[in-house]
Structure 1
Amino acid sequence: MALGQRASHIIKAKTGPDDPELLETLQEALSQVAVEDLIAVADDLAERHDRFVEGLGVPARIQRLTPHDWGWIARSSTVARRPATVLANSLAQLDMVPLVHELLFGDGPAAMRIATLTARLEGVDLRLRLELGTGLLHYTFPQDHWLWTRWLWDTTTQTGILSLLAGSTHNLQTNNVAEGYRNVGAVTSMSMRFAEGTGLLTPDLTAHPRRQLFTADVFLACAYSIYLYGITSWRLSREFNRLLPALPGMMRQLLGLTAGAGSC
């Protein structure tokens, strides 16, 4: 059985019947997407990058991180408040300085350093470990590293936007963290070729020196938000649909941008 895999009752091959109401719902979701939304989220991620560099970009600075800083890092790395709290509580009980120093500045390929970090955080949910490790690398050095979040590819439920865009889970299957990280990066790159035909990747996003570092993040968050909006709206009544956040809000939640302000 592949890394983290378990039998799941969640079947996401189809969003629902091909009826006018579902089509209308999906069109409503798509109509909420604007290039400006992606640009705004990319700008926020660029600001997050600045904070990560300020707190983690030089080895000596890691020593000065406070419990408040670790809480902010946890909130920035996970997709919901409760997992962020769980992660922050776990980090508070560990000596994270040498672990983070090795992850960011250690020798060897990044995939192996992520595998080492996840192994040393045994007892923490694997998805949280992966989100923390890849988030630390990506937001500190975004030009060289990528995210691996549960909404990109969840090894437990075998679901995520990457498998949906790829049309298969085949290229994401793995038995170890290092290989899994490389696979997620490869499928992310393939997905961006699909993104080029959407009209959302304008030069204001892809040619901007800061925003282009987070183009994949914002597009994939947008794509998954549309998917979630479609299947959730189909299953709920129209009254409950009004309670759903708009797509830009969903994107921000997926990327942990709803957390309160703070810095490293």
Structure 2
Amino acid sequence: MTSTPTAGPVVDTLAAQEFIGEIHRRLDHRDIEAMTAGLAAKATRVRSLLAPDRPAPGLGELHWLLRSCFPSRRQTRAILDAVGVDALGTAMRSLVHGDGDLGERVERFDACLAGFPEVATDLPWELLHLARPDRYWLWTRWMWNPRTETGALALVTAEDVELSAPGPVESYERVGRALAMVHGTVRAVDFAGDGPFGIDVFLACVYGIYMYTVLRMRMTQEFTRIVPELPALCRRLLGIYHREVLCP
């Protein structure tokens, strides 16, 4: 994995601790456990659907897969119509288990979703994370957006940590190193645990709190009231809000 070019600490420990305190003020510990369990259940189903020893996912299964991921949920029907069931199912299987290194597999998957560039930016990393959580970590634009240099990860890492790189795989590696360091920090206070999904929940909460802060500064109280409460907002970001995701 490529090192993050910084001479100092990766994690802004004070910021991380402040977010942990704010999360605990807004969420019950049972909410955090439920979100972590929801991600684990979703990952189990994704891993089964994309397993190399079973047929490629069909229409209903692909519909569920796309609806269960935040980047693709609203464009599920358009993606299926444009790409096709066979091509999309093959592309997902090849992404996780196909030949070639990570960069080649992601590039092939991106080409399959050429008409949906924003979905192609996030979806491959989410599918990889869900299918192989022991090997791949989550990376979405709400976590780190290299174009705007914003996201939850930027809020809990030191200012001199460079998360972007010339290519997407190199950026992914830098994000992964930073995630591992943040995970170690929040695990030390028994927030994230040792599993692969606690850090996802933590960063979704961080981004949710950031959104509320920005809305309070920029928008009226009446408009802010239409934004979901923090648990619901985090579940939307993580793709576990809607019932059919966990009960397909």
Interval of TM-score (by shorter of Structure 1 and Structure 2): 0.7 to 0.9
CA RMSD of aligned residues (A): 2.8
TM-score by length of 1: 0.74
User: For residues 139 and 233 of structure 1, what CA distance do their matches in structure 2 show?
Assistant: 33
The answer to whether the 8 Å contact 1:148/1:184 transfers is yes
CA contact (8 A) 2:69 2:123 kept: yes
Structure 1: distance between partners of 2:219 and 2:36? 31
- Per the alignment, residue 223 of structure 1 pairs with 206
What is the CA-CA distance between 1:112 and the residue it aligns to? 4.1
Check 1:35–1:240 CA distance in 2 against 1; reply closer, same or farther (3 A cut): same
Identity among equivalent positions (%) equals 29
After TM superposition, the structure 1 = structure 2 runs for residues 42-81 of structure 1, keeping only pairs within 5 Å, are 42-62=36-56, 65-79=57-71, 81=73
Return the match for 1:238 from 205, 221, 225: 221
Task: Say which SS state the counterpart of residue 96 (structure 1) adopts.
Answer: helix
5+ residue gaps in structure 2?
1-20
Which protein, 1 or 2, shows the higher relative CO under an 8 Å CA cutoff with sep ≥ 6?
1
Say yes or no: does 1:206 pair with 2:215. no
Mark the CA change 1:152 to 1:227 in structure 2 (over 3 Å): closer, same or farther.
same
1:92 equivalent in alignment to 2:84: yes
Deviation at 1:52, TM superposition (A): 0.9
1:155 equivalent in alignment to 2:146: yes
- Give the distance between the partners of 1:148 and 1:57, measured in 2 at CA: 22
Q: TM-score, normalised by structure 2?
A: 0.78
Cα distance in structure 1, aligned partners of 2:243 and 2:82 = 20
Contact residue 129 and residue 136 of structure 2 kept, 8 A: yes
Q: Is there any run of 5+ residues in structure 1 with no aligned partner, and where?
A: 1-26
Aligned residues: 227
Please tell me the residue identity of whatever aligns with 2:90. Answer: P
Residue-by-residue CA offset, 1:95-141 (whole Å, 9 max, x unaligned): 1233223211124443442233224433321x311322112211111
Name the CA shift for 1:107/1:95 in 2 (closer, same or farther; >3 Å): closer
Question: Does the 8 Å CA contact 1:152/1:160 hold for their aligned counterparts?
Answer: yes
Kept in 1: contact 2:70–2:239 (CA 8 A): yes
Match of 2:115 among 118, 123, 127: 123
1:46 CA displacement: 1.2
Shift of 1:87: 4.0
3-state SS of paired residue (1:60): coil
Three-state SS of the structure 2 residue aligned to 1:146 is coil
- Going from structure 1 to structure 2, the CA distance change for 1:149 and 1:225 (only over 3 Å counts) comes to same
- Residue 114 of structure 1 corresponds to 106
Secondary structure of the residue that 1:123 maps to in structure 2?
coil
